[in-house]
Every structure is written in C-alpha cells, then in structure tokens.
Amino acid sequence: MVAMGGGLDLPSREAENGKELVVCALPWPEEKVESGIKALKEAFRDVEVKYFHTKFANGKVEPVDVSDDILQRTAYLATLFWLPPSVSSIPSTKLIQFFSAGTNHIAQHPIYTDSKIPLCSANGIHGPQIAEWVIMMDLVHSHGYTKLYDAQKRKEWDQKMGMTVSDRVGKRVGILGYGSIGRQVAHVAKAMGMDVIAYTASPRKTAESKHDNGYIVPGTGDPEGTIPSTWYSGTTKEDVHNFLEQEIDLLVVAVPLTKTTTHLLSTPEFELLHKSNPRGTYITNIARGQIIDQKALITALEKGHISGAALDVTDPEPLPKDDPLWDAPNVLITPHVSGSTDVYADRAFQVLIENMKKEKSGGKLINEIDRERGY
C-alpha cells in the first residue's frame, strides 16, 4: 500500500458530499454494468461513482473527456486501457484497477514508469471462458470438425471425414504459464482424462508455493496447485526446452509478455516439439502474439513440425489481410475475443471491490503488478 501524502496545497480526495470518488473508464455502456456499479455502492457507502464509456475497436482507443476537477479528486480508478495523461493529473489516486489480465499495453505510460500508485490486474476473471476456448479449439482440431462443417455447407454426407478422431484421454497438455487461466484449463483437461504438466518461471517446490493467491472464480481452477503431475520451472532456454520435450499433445501458451518471453517459441522450440512428439503438438496461444515468432510458426505449420495452432492473439493486431498467417495450414484464428463473456464486467468489479477493501484495511492487494517483472 502506498501512502499518497497530503497537505493544505493538495486537493481533497473526497467529493463535496464527503464521499471518495471512484472513476470508471470502461468499454461498456453504463447500463451494461449496472449490477457491478450497484455492488460497488453496496460494498462502500462512502463512495461516489462517475462512469465514462471509453470507445475501443480493433486496437484503437478514442479520447476520453474527463475534467481536471474529477481527475484531481479521483481516489480509485477502474479502467481497461485508458489512463490520465500524467501522474500529476491524479494526485489523490490510491489504486488503479485494470479490468484486463495484463498491463503490457500501458507499460510505457508515465503512470506506470514514474509513479508508485499500486496497479492491479483483473487476473483470475478470464479462466472459465478462456479455458473453454482452449478446449473447444483442441476438440475442433482433434475431431476434424472444420472439414465436417465445410462438408455440411456443401450439403455433402461423407462419413470418412469423421473417422480420424483422436480423443483426449491419456493425452498430455503442457501449460506454459500456470496462472489462473492455465489452472482452469488444467481443471477441465483433468476432467477429460488428460495428463497435465505445468511450467512457471519461479520454482514451486513446496505445497504453499503452488497455491493460487489471486482472484479465483468460485468452483474453478486449481487453488491448491495439485493437478499437474509434474511441475517445471526456470527462465533459461534450457529450462523451457526441458519442459517442451515432454511429448506434449496440447501446448497452452499463457505466459505474460515481457522482454524474456518475446519470441519464446521459435524454430528451435518447434523442432524440439516435433522431435519429442512425432504425432504433432497442437498449440493454442491466448496470451500475446509476440510470444510466438510468427514467421517461424508459419514455417513449422507448413513443414508439419506441429499439428496445428489456434491463435486468439497475433503479431500485429489486427492481423493485416495480406499476412501469410491467414493461409497457413491447420491454423484457426480469432480476433482476441477468448476472454469475452457476459459476466466479464461483474467479475472485474468484484476484484475492484476486494482490492478497495484491502487498500482501506491495509491488506495485501490482489493481483498487484510488479513493475520490474512486468506482471
């Protein structure tokens, strides 16, 4: 928790009615998040909420008009991608709660680089829907569904197309980045009879270190960290390669984007996957496009070094129409939507509420960003 200080020359963090000001700059019309705002007001009788609908489409953010007076009085800021222009514009802010899983998109902003305002992510709210996307894509691939759907559109009945199914029992899923999303993938995969192995940067050798201490959607994930049959860790190429050579059938890319993880998967890694599992590893990326060397991925797909790829993120975004990735064999691409769900905002508001409680009580914040590590 960071004490912001005070003095007669600083604006009051309280509104004229004596309530602390919570500014929400979010990409939904206000009526779509009424339940979240209601929950916030019920949790804190001493807050005032001002809502600003931020427009965002295909990677572009429209300007948001928030007056200087409001910014000066903002005690808590809830946002997805918008930030005020400078640190000095929000002198009373105690906490910024992002409604996104990562904050790499604002890592060069002065509020990130030059302030000590606690920044928290909404890590944990994406597990259910993204895990469903991962498993859906894996099943679409393993059941050859795209060919069957194409046959349906041609009004063609051909049973031979449906005879090359590979069910998931006994197959191995390797989760590169065992956070909240990876844990829910593990939860579902285990229920399907798959073996799960996990990879994290930091060693998790004790039972306590394997716990998930972030936000958890009730009934989901792997809170105690007991699902993986084996846990791998490290930050060197050798460590990563040790994990990748474990005959992985489904590789789930779920690490944050940092300098270390940029192009973490390239030609040597795809060749290693092929050598370890000649049946073919299927890769799903729900993290960030830059984690995979996209040119090397296309080559690996063309050479059959991996069996296919499902990508909800690309490099760049939006993916240009003339990019060769569109036409690569055995690839499925969605426009960064795997995290979408009709309860997204409600879950994110719950994280905001919990963090405001912890900030007020001096407790440890949920999902606080380590600026040096980048996540």
Residue 288 among the catalytic residues: yes
What is the b/e burial string over 91-127, where b = at least 16 CB atoms within 10 angstroms of the residue's CB? bbbbbbbbbbbbbbbbeebebbeebebbbbbbbbbbb
Structure tokens at 340: 């979408």
Residue 220's φ and ψ, nearest 5 degrees, are -120, 175
- DSSP letters for 327-375: GSTTEEE--S-TT--TTHHHHHHHHHHHHHHHHHHT-PPTTB--TTTT-
**Catalytic-role residue among 336, 347, 354, 359:** 336
Separation of alpha carbons 279 and 225, rounded Å: 29
**Catalytic-role residue among 247, 271, 317, 368:** 317
Structure tokens at 179: 């956070």
Residue 143 among the catalytic residues: no
The count of other CB atoms within 10 Å of the CB of residue 22 is: 24
Residue 233's φ and ψ, nearest 5 degrees, are -155, 165
Give the distance from CA 30 to its chain's centroid: 24
**Catalytic-role residue among 73, 168, 187, 288:** 288
What pairs with residue 51 in β-bridges?
A: 24
Q: Which residue in the block uniquely carries the two structure tokens 């899983």?
A: 101
Structure tokens at 87: 């640190």
Q: Which residues are catalytic?
A: 288, 317, 336
